[in-house]
Structure 1
Amino acid sequence: MIIEYTYRFRIYPNKEQEDFLNIQFGHCRFVYNYFLTLSKKEYEEQGIKWKYSRYQSMLPALKKEYQFLKQANSQSLQVALQNLDTAYKNFFKREAGFPKFKKKKSKQTVHIPQHFSIERKSRKRGLLKIPKLKTPIKIKIHRNIEGQIRSISITKAPDGRYYLNVLTKKEIRSLKETGETAGIDVGIKEFAIIYDGENTHHIENPKYLQKSERRLIKLQRQLSRKQKGSKNWEKARQKVAKQHQKIVNQRKDFLHKVSTAITKQYDCFVVESLNIKGMIRNEKLSKQIADVSWYEFMRMLEYKAKWYGRKIIKADRFYASSKTCNVCGYKNNQLTLSVRKWKCPICKTTHDRDENASKNLYKIGLTHLTNLRFEHAERHSTGGRVGTTRAEACGAGTVGGMFSNGQTTRHPAVKQETS
C-alpha cells in the first residue's frame, strides 16, 4: 500500500539562520491573515464568497504593494494561501470551526515544495539547504528516510525549538495474520482493558498532565509576576511552553507504542464509538478526559489498521457494553458510573465493569468475523452472487456496511435474551 508519511527531525539553526526563518514565518503569516481579513470583509459587505482561484490571482499585486514579501519564497506564500483554502473547506464541511488568525507566539510553519536538498554527512548528522538561504542548516537525522521525498516544511514550536518535516510517499506492506481478535474498552482509571478470548490485559493510565501539574503551576506563577513583553517574561513563557511540549511528547510516545503493539498483535479489534465532545463537557472529568486522549488513540488505531491490513470495528454508541452481562446477556439499567463491580442477578456472575465491557466488545468481533467468513464462503459457492446473508437472516443490520482492508465500520449492538 502506498501512503504519505512524514518524518520529523530536529534542526539547529544559528542566529543568522533563525532570523531568516523568522522572517519567512512572518511573511507566510502575513499572507494568511491578510486574505482571511479580506475574505471576511468582502463577504460581510458585498456577499462575495470564498474562492481560492480569485484570491490566488491577487497574490502578485500584493507582492508589488508590500515589497518586503519579495524576500520570501514565492511557493511558500502560495502554500500559505492553500492552507487558508483548506481551512475554509473544512469549515464548509463542518469538520472544523471558522479559520482563525495566526499568532506570532504560537506554532509557526513555512512550507517549501521545491528547490531544497538534504545531505547526510555522518550517521546522525546532516545539512539542509533551502532557497534564499546561503548557509545550510544542521540536522539531527535519527533514522533513515524511506520513499520518495515530496516536499518539506520547517516548524518553530512555541518553546522555541525548530523542526524539519519531510513528506514522503512510501510503500507499507500488510502484516502477517495472527488469527487473534480483541475487545478494547478505554477508561480513565486504567487507559485500556483488552480481552482476547483467553487473557485480560490492563494498560495503566500514565496521567502525564496530572503528574506535571505542580511544575506547571509553579512556572505559570513565575510567568504572572513578570512584566508582559519584557525579556524575563519571554524566558518564563518559553519555560511554560517547554513543559507543555514535554507533556505532549510523552503522551504521543505512549499512544504510538500502545496502538502499534495492538495493531501488530491482533487481526481484528473492536472499540467503542464514544461521544468525546459531549463527555468532555463534564466539569468534573474534563481534565482527565483531555489528558487520556481517547480521540487521538482511536485515530491512530484507524490509520494503522488501514496501513497494515487489520480490521477495526466500532460498536454502536448506544450499546451498553458495561451494563450487559457477557455470560447470560442480562442488562443492568441501574448501573451507575461510580459502581465499578456488580453481580448479575440471573447467572450470579460478579463482573468488573471494564473487563465485562471488553468481553462484550470481543463478542462483537467474533460475530462480525463469523458473518464475514460465511458471506465469503457463500459468494465462493454461488460464483460471486450472494442472496440474503447470515447476518440479515438473523435480523442483524450494519451501520455503514461491511468493510475490508482495515476500513472502519460501525457494528450494531448485539441483541441478547435473558435466560
Structure 2
Amino acid sequence: MLYVYRFRLYPKKGQVEFLNRQIGHCRFVYNKLLEIAKESYEKEGKKWNYYEYKRLLPKLKEEFPFLKEANSQSLQEAVKWLDRAFKNFFKGLAKFPRFKRKKRVNSVSIPQHFRIEGDKIKIPKLKTPIKLKKHREIEGKIKSISITKLPSGKFYLNVLVDREIEPLPETDKVVAIDVGLKSFCTLSTGEKIENPRHLLKTEKRLKKLQRKLSRKIKGSNKYLKLQKNIAKLHEKITNQRNDFLHKLSKRIVGDNQVVIVEDLNVKGLLQNGNLSKHIADASWRKFITYLECKTKLYGRKLIKVNPFYPSSKLCWVCGYKNENLKLSDRRWVCPNCGTEHDRDYNATLNLLKEGLRTLKGSLTLRAVGLGRPELMSVESVSALVEAGSSSFQ
C-alpha cells in the first residue's frame, strides 16, 4: 500500500529562499492554468483537458522567464494537481478548483532526481543538501517526495513509499465504536474515551491573539508577527488532535481483528450551526480515515455501517425502536422490555450486531482471521453484549 512518512526540515536562510521560490513557481503555474481554463470555458465553452494544458508549459516559460528557475518536473506535477482537482470536481467529490493563496499551506512535488542520505536530502537545482529530522527509518520503495510549507513558516518533507502490509498476530476480538461529543467515542466493551476538545481548550488564547491582530496595521511588522503566532497556535491544535487520533486508532486496531463504525455523513452534520464547531474539533471523519488506513496496513477488517441505521434508537435486547428519543436523552428505558440503556453504549451494541450481520453476509468470519468464529455469530452476540453491559452498568 502507499504510505507517507513526514519529517521536519531545517533549511538555512538561502535554502528557505530557494524553497519559497520553487513553491511560488508551482503555485503560479497552478493559478495561471486555472485562470486560463476558467476563461476558456466562460468564453468558448471549452472543457478542461490535461494534455492540452500540459503543452502550455513551454509557452508559459517563454512568457514568464522566471519559471526557468524551477524544476521542470515540479511544474508538471502542478498541472497534475490541477487535473486531480478538476476530476474530483466532475465526480462530485469536491468544489470547483480554487486559486492557491500564498499564506496557506503550499507544496512543491519532486518525483525524481532526489537523494536522502542520513539526516540530509539533496533536491534538484539546489547545491547544498537540506537538514532533516529523520526520527524513524523509511520502509518500502520510495516513489516520490514533496516539500510542504505551513503558514507558520515551517517546512516538512513528505516521502511517498510503496510499503508492504504488515499483518499483526490474529485475534478473535471484535469492537464497535460510536463517536460522540460528550465522550469522543464509546466502545462496545463499555469503555468511554474522553473528548480532548483541543480547540476549545485553546480558544481563549486564540481569541485574544485575534483581537490584538485586528488592532494592528495590516502589513506592519507587528501584524505579521501576530499572524505567525496565530498560525503556530493553529498548528499546535492540529498536531495535538492528530497525535490523539493516531494513538487511539492504533490501539483499537492493534487490539481487535474487526472494527465496526458508523459511516457518518460529517459534511451534513456540520450544517448544524449549534454543534458544527464541536463536531469539527472532534474530527470524526479523520478518525475513521485513520482506522481505515491502519486496518489495511496491519491486516485487519473495517466495517462501515449505513449512517441511516438507527443505532441509538433501537433497544439491543428486543429490537424496539424509540421514535421519541431526543439528542438530549442520554439514558432511556425501553417501554417494551424495561431495559435501561446508556444511549452511546446501546448504540455500540446495535452497531456490533449490524456489523457482524454485514460481515456474515459478505464473507465468513474465519476469512478475516477470527480464530473462533463460533463465538462471533450473530445469534450469539446477545450473550457477548450481556456480559459487557453487566460490567458497564
Q: Output the TM-score relative to the length of structure 1.
A: 0.85
| Counterpart residue number, 2:161 | 168
Deviation at 1:376, TM superposition (A): 8.4
Q: Which residue of 2 aligns with 1:359?
A: 349
AA aligned opposite 1:19: E
- Report what 1:153 is aligned to: 146
Q: 1:299 to 1:374 in 2, by over 3 A?
A: closer
Question: Residue 260 of structure 1 aligns with which residue?
Answer: 250
| Code of the aligned partner of 1:339 | D
- In the TM superposition, residue 318 of structure 1 has moved relative to its aligned partner by 2.0
- Could you report, residue by residue, the CA deviation over 1:249-306 in whole angstroms, capped at 9, with x for unpaired residues? 1111111111111111111122112222221111111110110011111111122222
SS where residue 253 of structure 2 aligns? helix
Q: Give distance in 2, aligned partners of 1:139 and 1:309.
A: 31
Pairs within 5 Å for 1:228-243: 228-243=218-233
CA distance in 1, matches of 2:335, 2:55: 72
- Which residue does the alignment assign to 1:76? 74
Equivalent residue runs for 1:176-325 within 5 Å = 176-195=169-188, 199-325=189-315
- Residues 369 and 279 of structure 1: is their aligned pair in 2 closer, same or farther, counting only changes over 3 Å? closer
CA distance in 2, matches of 1:42, 1:348: 67
1:46-195 to structure 2, matched below 5 A, reads 46-120=44-118, 126-195=119-188
* Segments ≥4 residues shifted beyond 4 Å: 369-377
Describe the superposition over 1:21-51 as per-residue Cα deviations: whole angstroms up to 9, x where unpaired.
1111111111001100001101111111110
The yes-or-no answer on 1:332 pairing with 2:319 is no
Q: Which of 18, 21, 24 is the aligned partner of 1:23?
A: 21
Shift, 1:370, TM fit: 4.5
Which of the two has greater helix per residue?
2
Which region of structure 1 is more displaced relative to structure 2, 301-310 or 94-103? Answer: 301-310
Deviations 1:192-248 (A, max 9, x none): 1101xxx31111100000000011011111211111111211111000000000001
**Farther-moved stretch of structure 1 (362-371 vs 283-292):** 362-371
**Further displaced range: 313-322 or 103-112:** 313-322
Paired with 1:299 and 1:40, the residues of 2 have a C-alpha distance of 33
Percent of aligned positions with the same letter in both sequences? Answer: 56
Paired residue for 2:2? 4
Q: Secondary structure at the match of 1:345?
A: coil
Query: Paired residue for 1:411?
Result: none
Instruction: Report how far residue 138 of structure 1 moved.
Output: 1.1
Spell out, residue by residue over 1:126-145, the C-alpha distance to the aligned partner (whole angstroms, 9 max, x if none). 12111111221111111111
SS at match of 2:163: strand
Does the 8 A contact of 1:181 with 1:365 survive in 2? no
- The answer to whether the Cα contact below 8 Å between 1:269 and 1:312 also exists between their aligned partners in 2 is yes
C-alpha distance in 2 between matches for 1:263 and 1:254 = 14
Task: Please say if residues 182 and 365 of structure 1, whose CA atoms lie closer than 8 Å, have aligned partners that are also in contact.
Answer: no
- Structure 2: distance between partners of 1:176 and 1:368: 24
Which stretch of the first structure deviates more once superposed, 327-336 or 71-80?
A: 327-336
Once residues 370 and 164 of structure 1 are traced to their aligned partners in structure 2, the CA distance between those partners, rounded to angstroms, is 43
The structure-2 alpha-carbon separation of the partners of 1:333 and 1:238, relative to structure 1 and needing over 3 Å to count, comes to same
Compute the displacement of 1:169 (Å): 1.2
Q: Hey, what's the Cα distance between the residues in 2 that align with 1:369 and 1:82?
A: 38
Q: Which residue of 2 aligns with 1:33?
A: 31
Output aligned runs, 1:324-403, within 5 Å: 324-371=314-361
Distance 1:344 1:301 in 2: 32
Letter in 1 for 2:265: N
Match of 1:171, SS state, is: coil
Distance 1:101 1:270 in 2: 38
Q: Deviations over 1:133-185 (max 9, x none)?
A: 12211111111111111111111101110111111112122222211111211
Aligned partner of 2:311: which letter? Answer: S
Mapped to 1, the partners of 2:63 and 2:298 lie a distance apart of: 51
Q: CA offset at residue 368 of structure 1?
A: 3.8
Q: State how far apart, in whole Å, the 1-side matches of 2:365 and 2:311 are.
A: 26
In the aligned structure 2, how far is the partner of 1:16 from the partner of 1:375?
58
- 1:321/1:157 Cα in 2 relative to 1: closer, same or farther (>3 Å)? same
Cα distance, 1:373–1:317 mapped onto 2, change above 3 Å: closer
> In 2, Cα distance between the equivalents of 1:375 and 1:253?
32
* Structure 2 unaligned spans of 5+: 368-376, 379-393
Classify 1:96/1:370 alpha carbon distance in 2 versus 1 (closer, same or farther; 3 Å): closer
Structure 1 counterpart of 2:219, one-letter code? G
Instruction: Indicate if the aligned counterparts of 1:268 and 1:365 stay in contact, CA closer than 8 A.
Output: no
Paired residues, number: 370
In the alignment, is the contact (CA less than 8 A) between 2:145 and 2:157 conserved in 1?
yes
**Structure 2 length normalisation: TM-score?**
0.90
CA contact (8 A) 1:259 1:300 kept: yes
Equivalent-residue separation in structure 2 for 1:375 and 1:23 (angstroms): 54
